[in-house]
Amino acid sequence: MIRAGILITGTEVLSGAVSDRNGPWLARRLEQAGVEVAQIAIVGDRPEDMAAVLEPMAGLDLLITSGGLGPTADDLTVAAIAGWLDLELVLDGDLEAQIARIVSALRARRGIEGQAMDAGNRKQATIPAGATVIAPVGTAPGLVIRPDGPVRRPICVVLPGPPRELQPMWDSALATEPIQELLAAVEDRELQTMRLYGLPESQLAHTLREAQRAGIELERLQVTTCQHRGELEITTRVPAAERAAYAAFERFMEDAHPDQLFSRDGSTVEEQVARLLGDGGRTIALAESCTGGMLAARLTDLPGSSSYLKGGIVAYSNEVKTAQAGVPAELIERHGAVSEEVARALAEGVRSRLDSDLGVGVTGIAGPGGGSPEKPVGLVWLAIAGPAEETSTARSVRLPGGRAEVRERAVTVAMHMVRRALLTAGA
């Protein structure tokens, strides 16, 4: 088994300003390549902290770093890695010229007056002796470094922090000789994912114990579970010799939770909704109040969504609910904006006004204010309007958590209602 570590240098993540996106992205790519990720470490700009987290990574086969390659003085990844691998830093003249050309072109395009930035260029072109350079997508070059000292160290891939630079440069790194050689040694393992919706985690724990009692060896399958946006995910890394065991596990889960197990191929509910809409040649339109555009945003994350998504209405104020989605004002007055009646009227209104096959209405109290004893924070009404009676439904949920989590979970509930309606309509 080839094992890798990921080192994210990011004071911005350590200060809590942003969530790191590179760690999960690289981890997913490594998993797909059959490499096991042992850890992701995030450190700031202190050389001693970087040295401390590198320490337990010495025994790994591969280390990928992200960030700390900029022209500013607080960017010190290259120096830290070179020090760890005991390699000398040398100025690469060709690389320096290449970076200077890129920076000049950038500045010209932005109309910035010429200013000496040679110090920054030179810093970015100073690299460990013997390293393979990965051509920059932005201004910072990446590196692939094969250690050759007497002490055990992993092969290091050094990449810049911005995802749009890191991602194509990782693909370039994959094509280099050291990485190709490493991956050739990977054991054949399949990453399998099941997803469940509508099941408490404690119930899943119980089912897994039952599976084990029934003779399914979950340890050999490396089964892990997690909660995510109101769903449960079961991830398994299946060695070639254990495929039959995995098939038995899958059947066990299907028998135990036929209604909750909605994905056996790892597809997300968004992807399933997109496929069902596309296959059926159906269109959808959304009327959102408390989710404020998040449902539309999640559906339009997928390329090609314009073929089935007509559009949506973010009906935040009552006026807009009436004027744009056709919800009768007296309905809102009588039942309140968060009610079954208004959710249904939103779904029907947006379906008819945007001329789509399905309409979705979401209205709720995301908080922190606006709750009452009868209608507490977390109460959300959702409705689907379809061409036939059996595709038109409404339900209410009481979602836990703060504003962000209520909104996120409401989107998940809506997605599953749409999926269910499409499956019903297709039957």
SS3 category, 114: coil
| Cβ nearer to its own copies, comparing 71 with 328 | 71
DSSP class of residue 307 equals G
Beta carbon of residue 242, minimum distance to its own copies (angstroms, whole number): 17
d(CA 300, CA 277): 13
Beta carbon of residue 50, minimum distance to its own copies (angstroms, whole number): 9
Beta carbon of residue 271, minimum distance to its own copies (angstroms, whole number): 14
Beta carbon of residue 384, minimum distance to its own copies (angstroms, whole number): 18
Show Cβ contacts of residue 43 under 8 Å, excluding neighbours closer than 6 positions.
Answer: 7, 8, 9, 14, 49, 50, 53
Beta carbon of residue 311, minimum distance to its own copies (angstroms, whole number): 4
Q: For 17-135, where are the alpha helices, taking DSSP H only?
A: 22-32, 47-54, 77-85, 93-110, 118-124
| Cβ nearer to its own copies, comparing 225 with 396 | 225
Both tokens assigned to 248? 């038995």
| Cβ nearer to its own copies, comparing 57 with 87 | 57
CA dihedral 326, 331, 332, 336 (to 10 degrees): -140
d(CA 186, CA 207): 32
| Cβ nearer to its own copies, comparing 1 with 89 | 1
| Cβ nearer to its own copies, comparing 162 with 178 | 162
Beta carbon of residue 401, minimum distance to its own copies (angstroms, whole number): 3
| Cβ nearer to its own copies, comparing 177 with 209 | 209
Instruction: For tokens 């960017």, name the residue.
Output: 75
CA dihedral 404, 410, 414, 419 (to 10 degrees): 80
Beta carbon of residue 175, minimum distance to its own copies (angstroms, whole number): 20
| Cβ nearer to its own copies, comparing 50 with 144 | 50
SS3 category, 320: helix
d(CA 383, CA 348): 9
193 burial type by CB count under 10 A (0-12 exposed, 13-18 middle, 19+ buried): middle
CA 67-227-44 angle, 5° bins: 20
Q: Is the peptide bond before 150 cis (omega within 30 degrees of 0)?
A: no
| Cβ nearer to its own copies, comparing 229 with 420 | 229
Beta carbon of residue 265, minimum distance to its own copies (angstroms, whole number): 14
Beta carbon of residue 177, minimum distance to its own copies (angstroms, whole number): 25
| Cβ nearer to its own copies, comparing 132 with 401 | 401
d(CA 346, CA 315): 9
